[in-house]
Amino acid sequence: MSRVHDLDGRGALSEEALAEFTNFFLKICLDQVRFMERLVQPDRLRDRILLWAEEEIRAGTLPAKSGQVLEAILFRGELARGDVPTLLGASERAARRVVAALLDRGVLSSKSTRAPLFISFPAALAARWMPGLFPEQGAQEAR
| Banded model confidence at residue 142, pLDDT cuts 50, 70, 90 | very low
Number of Cβ within a 10 Å radius of residue 75: 9
Give domain 43-123's CATH number out of 3.40.50.150, 1.10.599.10, 3.40.640.10, 1.10.10.10: 1.10.10.10
Better-scored residue on pLDDT, 133 or 77:
77
The conformational region for residue 132 under phi > 0 = left, psi -120 to 50 = alpha, else beta, is left
CA distance 7 to 9: 7
**Mean pLDDT across 41-65:** 93
Number of Cβ within a 10 Å radius of residue 95: 22
Helix/strand/coil for 134: strand
Over 60: is that where the pLDDT of 56 sits? yes
**% the chain with pLDDT above 70:** 85
* pTM score: 0.72
CA distance 27 to 119: 31
Lowest mean pLDDT among 8-17, 24-33, 56-65, 96-105: 8-17
Show me where the domains of the chain are located: 11-40, 43-123
CB-based burial label for 66 (10 Å; 0-12, 13-18, 19+): buried
Over 80: is that where the pLDDT of 9 sits? no
Please, which residues bridge with residue 65 across strands?
Answer: none
| Banded model confidence at residue 15, pLDDT cuts 50, 70, 90 | confident
Q: What pLDDT was estimated at residue 139? A: 46
Over 50: is that where the pLDDT of 143 sits? no
Q: What pLDDT was estimated at residue 111? A: 94
* Residues sharing a CB contact under 8 Å with residue 16, sequence separation 6 or more, in sequence order: 4, 5, 8
Phi and psi torsions of 137, nearest 5°: -60, -45
